[in-house]
Structure formats: structure tokens, C-alpha cells
Amino acid sequence: MRHFLSLCDCSADEIDALLRRAAELKAIQRRGELHQPLTGRVLGMIFEKASTRTRVSFESGMAQLGGHAIFLAPEHAQLGRGEPIEDTARVLSRMVDAVMIRTFAHAGLERFAAYASVPVINGLSDYNHPCQLLADLQTFIEHRGPISGRRVAWIGDGNNMCTSWIEAAGLLDFELQIATPPGYRPPEAVLEQGRGRVTLFDTPREAAAGADLVTTDVWASMGQEEEQAQREAAFTGFCVDATVMAAAAPDALFMHCLPAHRGEEVSAEVFEGPQSVVWDEAENRLHAQKALLEWLLVGAADG
């Protein structure tokens, strides 16, 4: 039994196998073939924060694989009335085959996983967002081939998405060039996960230099809404616009996990422009997570 709380819960070979399987599942879906290895299986989904992509991709993914997903909002579950995480984990483990959680506190997710006897999937915490990285890696490979040895630029907040990019760089051996305003850098302990593959810069153009992929995320994440004005001031000059893309490789891709704020972290021109692959990236949440569910529940990705 395996959990997926971080990319680092997998080896590089396992991530490769998952991404290959994600591409196969996408092709199966495109051909309109039924593929239902999860008939009778149930995924419990706990969302403490809003979601469009994560909820719909997991729910559709389970249905397409022949299973079912249950949406639990804490305010409508006993978890929201103080039932301990440890108790919820043990009860759900008796009723469902896997649990996906989107939560504020990563420590709560780890506690849930420690008490669960079914696989637990991180659907985003304040620390990282590994499911998004599976989709992002699938999208890069689809458009440009293997990512190892390539150069990725992260522009903006040293947030949960940035953490997952750092974990990916360390695991899959590509260069990650990060530009954040002072005070918004990823913590040292996170940078260590990059195993020497990560370099910090002060300006977006420096970080984008020669990059094969430029990626960013919102300046204020969920739970930081009251910091919006302060962050808008701090992140002035950190918009991924045409001048930033011009510093990257001529065929550089642009990605954003979404939702995006045009005119803040990315210009409308770049977001809607020919280098942007954000809709493929969003779609690949579905295929990458189907590969993950199949692997966790029936072990298919490693053959």
C-alpha cells in the first residue's frame, strides 16, 4: 500500500512509468475505448478548499475507470465539527479504496495518511501539489520529449507549486531557475530537495534565460486572500509577459496550474499566446491522475 503525498514518495522510474501510462490512458480515451479496471472501487475526496480541476478530474477519472468518487466538504462532515483526523482516516479506510485530500495543513494530511489503511493522495496542501506536477510533466513530455537535462523557469511565489517543481527537479534531473521577490523564496529545507539542480535569481528575465519552459502561479494562494494587496505590491515586475518569454528559448512553453489572473502573474498576451499549453496541462490532470489511481489501486503502471 502506497501513499502519494509528494513526488518524492516515488522513484524516478516510477514517475516515468506513471507518465507513460498517463499517455496511454489519454490515447485510450481519445479512441473512445472503455477501460474499467476500477469497477466497484470508491475514492473518497475531502476538499477543505475550493477546486475545479482537481475535483472534476478525480471524479471523472474514477467514473471513466469504472469506479465512483464521493465528495466530502468538511463543513458537511463530522471532520468540520471536530471529529479527529485520525478517527476519520480509520473510518474512511473501512469504506473506501483510496482517499484524496485537499487541505490547508500538510501535517494534517501526513497524520491522515499515518492512520489510513488505504492509499492517500495529496490533492494540494499548503506545502506542495504533486498531482499538478504529474500533469505538468506529462504536458512537457508530450510537447518536447524527456524533461531530464532541460531547463525550467519558475517565476513568482515560492509556494506549494514551486515546492513540487523543486521536488521534480531533484528527482528527474532537470535545471530549475527560480525568481521570486525577496521574502517569498522557498524555504531552505525545500531547496535541499532540489539536490543541487535549483538556482535562485532576483529577476524574472534572469531566471527565464534559455528556459525550455516558463511557469508561474498566482501571487496569493488560497488562504492568503487578505495578503492580496501587499503581495501585488511585492510582486511588481514579476509578471510573465512577452519580455520574459523573449529571454527564454525561442520554442519555450508557458504553463500555469490555473486558475490564472491575467495582468498579475501572467500577461493576457502570453497566457493566450502560441507558447501557452495551459489547456493541455489542465486536461492532463485527468489522464495523469487516472494513471496514479490505477497504479495505487491495481498496480498497473509498473506492469
Residues that bind ligand NVA (CB under 6 A): 124, 159-161, 217-218, 221-222, 257
* Kind plus residue range of the DSSP H or E element containing 101: strand 98-102
Say if CB 59 and CB 30 are below 8 A apart.
no
Alpha-carbon span 251 to 47, nearest angstrom: 37
> Who contacts 82 (Cβ-Cβ below 8 Å, separation ≥6)?
none
The conformational region for residue 149 under phi > 0 = left, psi -120 to 50 = alpha, else beta, is: left
Contact pick of 3, 26, 53, 231 for ligand CP (by CB under 6 A) = 53
CB of 130 to ligand NVA, least distance (A): 12
Place of cell 481519445: 30
Alpha-carbon span 112 to 132, nearest angstrom: 21
Active site residue 132: yes
* Number of Cβ atoms within 10 Å of the Cβ of 14: 16
Contact pick of 24, 35, 42, 51 for ligand CP (by CB under 6 A) = 51
The residue (of 132 and 216) whose beta carbon lies closer to ligand CP is: 132
CB of 260 to ligand NVA, least distance (A): 10
Contact pick of 214, 257, 292, 296 for ligand CP (by CB under 6 A) = 257
Alpha-carbon span 78 to 81, nearest angstrom: 5
HSE toward the beta carbon, residue 48, CA cutoff 13 A: 20
Contact pick of 10, 38, 124, 134 for ligand CP (by CB under 6 A) = 124
The residue (of 43 and 257) whose beta carbon lies closer to ligand NVA is: 257
By CB under 6 A, residue 289 contacts ligand CP:
no
By CB under 6 A, residue 73 contacts ligand CP:
no
Active site residue 285: yes
By CB under 6 A, residue 255 contacts ligand CP:
no
Beta strands per DSSP E along 103-244: 120-122, 151-155, 175-179, 198-201, 213-216
Residue 242 pairs in a beta bridge with: none
Active site residue 102: yes
Contact pick of 91, 141, 258, 260 for ligand CP (by CB under 6 A) = 258
The residue (of 50 and 268) whose beta carbon lies closer to ligand CP is: 50
Q: Which does 77 bind (CB under 5 to 8 A by kind): ligand NVA, ligand CP, none?
A: none
Contact pick of 103, 128, 132, 160 for ligand CP (by CB under 6 A) = 132
Residues that are catalytic: 102, 129, 132, 217, 257, 285
